Amino acid sequence: IAGITQAPTSQILAAGRRMTLRCTQDMRHNAMYWYRQDLGLGLRLIHYSNTAGTTGKGEVPDGYSVSRANTDDFPLTLASAVPSQTSVYFCASSQRGQETQYFGPGTRLLVL
Amino acid sequence: KQEVTQIPAALSVPEGENLVLNCSFTDSAIYNLQWFRQDPGKGLTSLLLIQSSQREQTSGRLNASLDKSSGRSTLYIAASQPGDSATYLCAPDNAGNMLTFGGGTRLMVKP
C-alpha cells in the first residue's frame, strides 16, 4: 500500500511558468488537502476537497488552483509561478468522520 | 483566526529522559487536536488525535493531554530514545479537518 504519492519530488521552475503538482492516494479517502511549508511560517492550508467534485479555499489560496475529478487524485496548479511560491508542498488525505490526516512525502519547488 | 504556539522551539535531551512538549492555541472551539512527527526532509506522520471531548490519548510511550478551555495540549514522551529525534507539530482542528499548525518543537535525543 503506497498511501499518498506526490510528483515530482523536486522541481526548479522559471518564474511565469505553469506547473502542476500531482497527488494520488490509494486509501479511498474522501477528503484531500494541499499545504505549503515555509521556514518560520509552518504549514499552511492552500486548498482542500471534502469529496470528489468539490473544492474549497484554505488560508493561502492565491496563485493556486485545484481540481478533484475523482476520489484518488488532487492536482495543484500554479498558473504563473512567482518566487514567493518557492516552498515544500505537502498533499494529505483523510476519511471524513475519522479525522486523522495522512501526508505524502512532499514536493520541493524552487521558483527562480 | 486560530494561532498555535509550541514551546520550546527546540529541545536537546540525553537518552532515557521523560519530556513534555507544549502547545497552546487561541481559539478553544476545536473539534479535535492532532500531534504529528516530521523527520528531516520527510512528510508528517500522525501520532495521536484527541477529540474535543477527551482529556488524553495514549500510544505506547506517548501521551497527549488536552485542556480545551485553557487552550493547551501537551505531548509527554516517556523514556526518550535517539529514534525519537524529529520535529513535533500540534494542530488543532476548528472546522472539521481544517488544521492550523504550530511552528513545531525540534527534538534531539542524544545517545
**What pLDDT, on the 0 to 100 scale, is given for residue B97?**
73
**Is there a contact between A48 and B98 if contact means CB atoms under 8 Å apart?**
yes
**What pLDDT, on the 0 to 100 scale, is given for residue A64?**
98
Q: Is B2 on the interface with A (CB under 8 A)?
A: no
pLDDT in tens, A9-53: 999 999 999 999 999 999 999 999 999 999 888 899 999 999 999
**Is there a contact between A101 and B97 if contact means CB atoms under 8 Å apart?**
yes
Residue range A79-98: average pLDDT? 93
Chain A residues lying within 8 Å of B102, measured CB to CB: 42
**What pLDDT, on the 0 to 100 scale, is given for residue A1?**
57
Residue range A98-103: average pLDDT? 87
Interface test with A, best of B99, B100, B105, B106 (most A CBs within 10 A): B99
Contact criterion met (CB below 8 Å) for B34 and A100: yes
Per-residue burial over A32-71, b = 16 or more CB atoms within 10 Å of its CB, e = otherwise: bbbbbbeeeebbbbbbbbbeeeebeebebbeebebebeeb
Regions of chain B short of the pLDDT cut 50: none
Q: Provide, rounded to the nearest whole percent, the portion of chain A with pLDDT above 70.
A: 98
DSSP state for residue A53 in the 8-state scheme = T
Contact criterion met (CB below 8 Å) for A109 and A88: yes
